[in-house]
Amino acid sequence: MKTLRDVKVGETAKVMKIHGDGALKRRIMDMGITKGTEITVRKVAPLGDPVEVTVRGYELSVRKDDADILEMS
């Protein structure tokens, strides 16, 4: 399964499915990452984690562990 963690810097992918439940899933969705949303990975933090992504026209920082719940195209 390809998750947001596997999307390379500079690439854009579509959210296919959001796994998990509870606070994390809700928070990610509240921030505008819903099924079908396009996410562009902008860069990785200097220490390798988290990653910066663009979603719905703004910048968001997501930890790689949290990014794993996002199944991407």
Partner 1 sequence: MALKIALAGNPNCGKTTLFNDLTGSTQYVGNWPGVTVEKKEGRLIGHRDVIIQDLPGIYSLSPYTLEEVVSRNYLVNEKPDVILNIVDGTNIERNLYLTTQLVEIGIPVVIAFNMMDLVRKSGDQIDTKKLGKELGCETIEISALHSDNTKKAAELAIEQATKKKGELPHVFTGSVEHAIAHIEESIETLVPAEQLRWYAVKLFERDSKATEQLKLSADTKAHIEQHIADCEKEMDDDAESIITNQRYTCIQKLVADTVSKKHTSEQMTTSDKIDRIVTNRILALPIFAVIMWAVYFISVTTLGSWLTDWTNDVLFGTWITNGATAGLTALGASDAVISLLVDGIIGGVGTVLGFVPQMILLFLCLSILEDSGYMARVAFIMDRIFRRFGLSGKSFIPMLVGTGCGVPAIMASRTIENEKDRRMTILLSTFLPCGAKMEIVAMMTMVCFPGSMFVAPAMYFLGLGIVVFSGIALKKTKYFSGDPAPFVMELPAYHIPTVKGVLIHVWERAKAFMIKAGTIIFTMCIVIWFLMHFGPTGFLPDDIDASFLRYIGEGLSWIFKPLGFGTWQGAVASVSAEVAKEQATATLGMLAHAASDDETDVAAAINTMFGGSKLIGMSFLLFNIFDAPCMVAIATAFREQASRKWGWITFGYQMMVGYCLSLCVYQIGAWVSGSFTFGTVVAIALILAACYFVFRPNPYAKKRTEYRREAERA
Q: Given candidates 11, 14, 63, 73, which one binds partner 1 under the rule CB under 8 A?
A: 63
- The yes or no reply on residue 6 touching partner 1 (CB under 8 A) is no
Q: Which of 22, 25, 41, 21 is nearest to 33 (CA)?
A: 25
Q: Given candidates 11, 14, 65, 73, which one binds partner 1 under the rule CB under 8 A?
A: 65
| Buried-exposed string 3-23: b where 16+ CB fall within 10 A, e elsewhere | bbbebeeeeebebeebeeeee
Contacts with partner 1 by CB under 8 A lie at 1, 3, 17-32, 34-35, 37, 43-50, 52, 54, 56-63, 65-66, 68-69, 71
